[in-house]
Amino acid sequence: MKITLNVNGEARSLDVDPRVALLDALRTHLDLTGSKKGCDHGQCGACTVLVNGRRINSCLTLAVMHEGDEITTIEGLGEPGSLSPLQKSFVKHDGYQCGYCTPGQIMSAKGMIAEFNMGWPSNVTDDLGTAPDFTEAEIKERMSGNLCRCSAYPGICHAIREAAPDEGTIEEAAE
């Protein structure tokens, strides 16, 4: 099936089997290998990408379902010499060890910050009638779908708190 995916601001034409997952289309057909195949069941978050600004597990969705959508992978955030604020903060706070989960962690953090800025509550939000506070508990809950086998969670949490104001409207994150 011939499809066009809009990935990192560029229209990319593909000829894929309609059963191909978005993750496999990105990695195998478009050679964008930043998104990782971890569990292939949507349980680890290593494959997280943004679709129309919302984070998804790319292993759980078909590529053909995303024709016309804006897909952003880790390659679309920054590159050596021009990293995004989140990427810089992950380096600064050692928010990675082996690095396998890092692209998914960063993409999930970017999506999570956008969700927070829209006022979406999480399971730990105290008052559903007011905007949530950007606390460590909120970050941990919102990032709970992304696993790190090396246990770099403290660095990941610090990186997100520091970079959040540069990624959106969260002002109290750096305090």
Could you tell me the pTM of the whole model?
Answer: 0.93
Contact yes or no for 137/80 (Cβ under 8 A): no
pLDDT of residue 170: 59
Mean pLDDT of all residues in 54-74: 97
**Using CA atoms, how far apart are residues 5 and 167, in angstroms rounded to an integer?**
25
Residue 167's pLDDT band (cuts 50, 70, 90): confident
Which amino acid makes up residue 47?
C
**Three-class SS state of 110:** helix
Give φ, ψ of 114 to 5 degrees: -65, -40
Which residues make Cβ contacts (< 8 Å) with residue 68, sequence separation at least 6?
A: 4, 6
Which amino acid makes up residue 124?
V
Q: What percent of the chain has pLDDT over 90?
A: 84
Residue 79's pLDDT band (cuts 50, 70, 90): confident
**Three-class SS state of 126:** coil
Nearest one of 93, 69, 82 to 164, comparing CA atoms? 93
End-to-end Cα, the chain, rounded Å: 50
